[in-house]
């Protein structure tokens, strides 16, 4: 009888997975522990916005944003972009939602976002339960511009609007068109800087919240809530040419991962496939970390973590699986491993602050899966 293979492969691979994810510009879910490896020189430079001296705060100029960051983002050179600039559906919700799930770029409570929006001449930008209204225009060298806005919340029955303490600066390039679909729809890629009024009540409250969180011993911070928000928005509004492509399927466990990915385009340039599945509550254990049979093999759970926000609310969960072939010969001969990540949405997920999804029954839940291959013995 042939001796059984030792099962240490998933644990070793999981360690490399954590290392790789610290270099991932879109999904940044690495464990924060004292044993984590130090970031590479490239990662430190990117985190500082490409500036020398890693201790300097992130404070890009308008020229940095328009002449460096926007061209790199259009070319999908995400590895050369600073992590402080997030991809988000900026105009899809209230600014308080964005600041609650995305980390600030610096100590001044400033948030930076890459935003793909339809070209809309005029002084208003609709966003969630209100709109941004133009307060000042400024030009820079060439076709670069920056517009300053104030956020107003919709009023009650009287129809008035209330000015808030949220401010926004939109940076763009007038000489650059981001049209897609043969020019049938005009899109524009911009960078938005969001911040509260300096010295206002909101600014002081954010400072108090930061001080309270920094004094709290937090050892279970495993995942970032903005990832779940991004996946949810992608499942609600597919087809954005600047967003990841997500497919709606009935079940991802009815075939080998190589089969279900062979006929569908990848979501991004990292050979990752995203699937939105509406399944019955209780099916596949509702997020339980146990093996899932799929075709001629099974997904074996490797890691489990909860997704919480800054107030420790239960936003959802994340499970990492390694696909294990049933056939020993196939497993030994294969040069490729398949991995899957399952994302579920918890009771405190902010559904009410985001665009509504398709109507689902009370016994149905939305789950998002990410499937991707890895070379055996090497990094992705």
> Is 143 in the same domain as 266?
no
Instruction: Please tell me whether residue 31 adopts helix, strand or coil conformation.
Output: coil
Is residue 190 in some structural domain? yes
Tell me the residue range of the domain where 126 lies.
Answer: 38-214
Query: Is the CB of residue 137 less than 8 Å from the CB of residue 122?
Result: no
Q: What is the DSSP string of 100-151?
A: HHS--SSTT--EEEEEEEE---SSEEE-SSEEEEEEEEEE-STTEEEEEEEE
pLDDT per residue over 301-354, tens digit each?
888 888 777 677 888 888 899 998 888 887 777 767 899 999 988 888 877 777
pTM: 0.48
pLDDT per residue over 189-235, tens digit each?
899 999 998 877 777 776 665 555 444 444 334 445 667 777 777 77
Query: Is the CB of residue 70 less than 8 Å from the CB of residue 82?
Result: no
Query: Is the CB of residue 83 less than 8 Å from the CB of residue 111?
Result: no
Measured CA to CA, the distance from residue 154 to residue 175 in angstroms comes to 34
> What CATH number has the domain bearing residue 96?
2.170.150.80
> Is 300 in the same domain as 251?
yes
Is residue 58 in some structural domain? yes
Go through 279-304 and write b for each residue having 16 or more CB atoms within 10 A of its CB, e for each that does not. beeeebeebebeebebbebbbbbbbe
Query: Is the CB of residue 66 less than 8 Å from the CB of residue 171?
Result: yes
Domain edge (last residue) among 214, 249, 279: 214
> Is 48 in the same domain as 137?
yes
Residue 4 CB neighbour total at 10 angstroms: 7
């Amino acid at each position: 009888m042939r001796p059984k293979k030792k099962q240490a492969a998933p644990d070793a691979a999981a360690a490399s997975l954590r290392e790789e994810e610290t270099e991932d510009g879109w999904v940044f879910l690495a464990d924060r522990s004292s044993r984590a490896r130090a970031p590479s020189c490239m990662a430190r430079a990117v985190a500082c916005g490409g500036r020398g001296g890693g201790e300097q705060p992130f404070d890009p100029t308008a020229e940095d944003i328009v002449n460096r960051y926007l061209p790199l983002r259009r070319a999908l050179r995400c590895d050369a972009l600073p992590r402080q600039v997030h991809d988000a559906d900026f105009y899809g919700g209230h600014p308080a939602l964005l600041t609650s799930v995305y980390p600030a770029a610096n100590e001044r409570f400033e948030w930076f976002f890459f935003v793909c929006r339809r070209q809309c001449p005029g002084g208003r930008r609709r966003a969630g339960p209100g709109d941004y209204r133009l307060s000042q225009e400024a030009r820079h060298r060439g076709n670069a511009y920056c517009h300053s806005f104030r956020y107003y919340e919709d009023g009650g029955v009287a129809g008035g609007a209330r000015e808030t303490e949220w401010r926004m600066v939109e940076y763009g390039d007038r000489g650059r068109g981001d049209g897609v679909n043969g020019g049938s729809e005009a899109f524009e890629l911009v960078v938005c800087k969001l911040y509260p009024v300096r010295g206002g009540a909101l600014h002081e409250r954010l400072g108090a919240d930061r001080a309270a969180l920094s004094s709290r011993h937090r050892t279970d911070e495993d995942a970032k809530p903005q990832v779940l928000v991004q996946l949810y928005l992608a499942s609600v509004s597919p087809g954005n040419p600047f967003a990841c492509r997500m497919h709606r399927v009935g079940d991802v466990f009815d075939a080998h991962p190589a089969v279900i990915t062979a006929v569908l385009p990848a979501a991004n340039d990292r050979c990752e496939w995203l699937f939105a599945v509406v399944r019955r509550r209780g099916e596949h254990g509702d997020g339980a970390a146990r093996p899932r049979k799929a075709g001629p093999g099974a997904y074996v759970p490797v890691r489990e973590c909860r997704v919480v926000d800054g107030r420790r609310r239960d936003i959802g969960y994340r499970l990492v699986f390694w696909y294990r072939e049933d056939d020993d010969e196939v497993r030994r001969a294969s040069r490729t491993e398949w991995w899957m990540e399952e994302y579920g949405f918890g009771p405190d997920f902010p559904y009410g602050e985001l665009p509504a999804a398709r109507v689902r029954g009370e016994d149905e839940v939305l789950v998002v899966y990410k499937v991707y291959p890895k070379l055996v013995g090497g990094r992705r």
